[in-house]
């Protein structure tokens, strides 16, 4: 069973705590996401400038450790304002397991990329990016 | 007419404001569940005791909103807790509730994936709060 741990415990930032809880509950309610969880096997950085917060999700096997700040060498780096970050979780996953960028939530993400509200580093690690998108999708 | 903060009359006015909102009706059309708001005491701001607000929300309608004890509010399906001064900031549009949660200034208990799906409804509920004139105990 995948496990999500806050590296900083009670000192975890609000963003770390929220994203950690969201990830844990999302995987718990959708066991088909277990495989994605296990296969990320890398660090993912999330930076939210309007909150002044950065967190790193370190996926190793069945465990994801959420750190305050930047850690390790993230394979994927997501920089988005808080509203856009919530919007990313609204992306629907299509029949082939790929994010759907053709409906309204998907188009909103593309607009955010065009306008610079969303920047993604490491886009060539498409599988990792798609796995992370699926893990956080609540749609 | 302004209402005393977190009084029965304020709760009724807040409920009426939510039920007048077409935006909320649409955004929360599928919502089922109660929400509890816990306002933590700040004696130096003339709020000597913790207070609770229990909101019975169902498919885009506020069926009931009442001022209750902290314990009763904590029985809701979703509970958001914060000190009085944070809630005042939310009501004055100085702090977005979602950002407050992401910053750890407000604590959320409940199913995050569901709440993320209803971010727009939550934002409109905050808008409704700002439309209810309030007599603040520390002003």
List the pLDDT tens digit at each of the 139 positions of chain B.
899 999 999 999 999 999 999 999 999 999 999 999 999 999 999 999 999 999 999 999 999 999 999 999 999 999 999 999 999 999 999 998 989 999 999 999 999 999 999 999 999 999 999 999 999 999 9
CA distance A70 to A88: 20
Are B83 and B42 a contacting pair, CB within 8 Å?
Answer: yes
How many Å apart are CA A10 and CA A31, to the nearest integer?
Answer: 28
Vertex A76: Cα angle to A72 and A77 (nearest 5): 85
Of A103, A129, A102, A131, which is closest to residue A118 (Cα–Cα)?
Answer: A129
**pLDDT above 70: percentage of residues in chain B:** 100
Contact A109, A89 (CB under 8 A): no
Q: What is the pLDDT of residue A104?
A: 93
With an 8 Å Cβ cutoff, are A138 and B99 in contact?
Answer: no
All residues of chain B having their beta carbon less than 8 Å from the beta carbon of residue A21 are 112
Q: State whether residue B119 sits within 8 Å of chain A by CB.
A: yes
| CA–CA dist B133, B5 (Å, integer) | 9
Of A15, A26, A50, the CB nearest to B113: A26
Rounded CA separation B44/B54 (Å): 25
Q: What is the pLDDT of residue A62?
A: 96
Tell me the DSSP string of A102-119.
SSHHHHHHHHHHHTTSEE
Query: What string of pLDDT tens digits covers the 139 residues of chain A?
Result: 789 999 999 999 999 999 999 999 999 988 889 999 999 999 999 999 999 999 999 999 999 999 999 999 999 999 999 999 999 999 999 888 899 999 999 999 999 999 999 999 998 999 999 999 999 999 8
Which residue does chain B place closest to A81, by CA atoms? B99
Longest Cα separation, chain A: 40
Interface residue B2 vs chain A (CB under 8 A): no
Instruction: Write A105-114 long-range contacts (CB < 8 A, 24+).
Output: A105/A139, A109/A84, A112/A80, A112/A84, A112/A87
Helical H segments across B21-111, by residue range? 22-27, 70-73, 84-91, 97-102
pLDDT 10s digits, B51-73 = 999 999 999 999 999 999 999 99
* CB-closest option in A17, A83, A89 to B104: A17
**Cβ–Cβ contact B46 with A under 8 A:** no
B99: Cβ–Cβ under 8 A, 6 or more apart, which residues? A50, A51, A82
CB contact under 8 A, A51 and B102: yes
DSSP A91: P
pTM (two decimals) = 0.91
Q: What is the pLDDT of residue A71?
A: 94
Sign of the torsion angle spanned by Cα atoms B71, B69, B75, B121: negative
Query: Two tokens at B58?
Result: 């169902």
């Amino acid at each position: 069973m995948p496990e999500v741990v806050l590296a900083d415990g009670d000192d975890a930032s609000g963003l770390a705590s929220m994203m950690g809880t969201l990830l844990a509950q999302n995987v718990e309610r959708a066991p088909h996401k277990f495989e994605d969880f296990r296969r990320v096997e890398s660090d993912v950085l999330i930076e939210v400038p309007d909150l002044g917060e950065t967190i790193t999700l370190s996926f190793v096997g069945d465990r994801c450790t959420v750190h305050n700040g930047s850690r390790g060498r993230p394979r994927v780096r997501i920089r988005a304002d808080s509203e856009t970050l919530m919007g990313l979780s609204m992306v629907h996953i299509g029949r082939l397991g790929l994010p759907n960028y053709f409906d309204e939530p998907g188009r909103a993400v593309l607009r955010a990329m065009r306008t610079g509200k969303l920047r993604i580093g490491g886009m060539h690690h498409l599988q990792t990016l798609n796995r992370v998108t699926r893990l956080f999708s609540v749609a | 007419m302004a209402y005393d903060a977190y009084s029965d009359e304020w709760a009724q006015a807040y409920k009426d404001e939510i039920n007048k909102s077409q935006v909320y009706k649409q955004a929360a059309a599928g919502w089922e569940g109660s929400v509890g708001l816990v306002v933590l005491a700040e004696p130096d701001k003339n709020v000597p005791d913790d207070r609770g607000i229990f909101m019975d929300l169902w498919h885009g309608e506020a069926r009931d909103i009442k001022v209750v004890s902290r314990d009763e509010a904590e029985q809701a399906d979703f509970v958001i807790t914060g000190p009085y001064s944070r809630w005042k900031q939310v009501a004055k549009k100085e702090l977005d509730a979602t950002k407050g949660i992401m910053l750890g200034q407000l604590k959320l208990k409940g199913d995050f994936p569901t709440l993320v799906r209803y971010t727009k409804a939550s934002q409109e509920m905050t808008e409704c709060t700002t439309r209810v004139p309030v007599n603040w105990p520390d002003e």
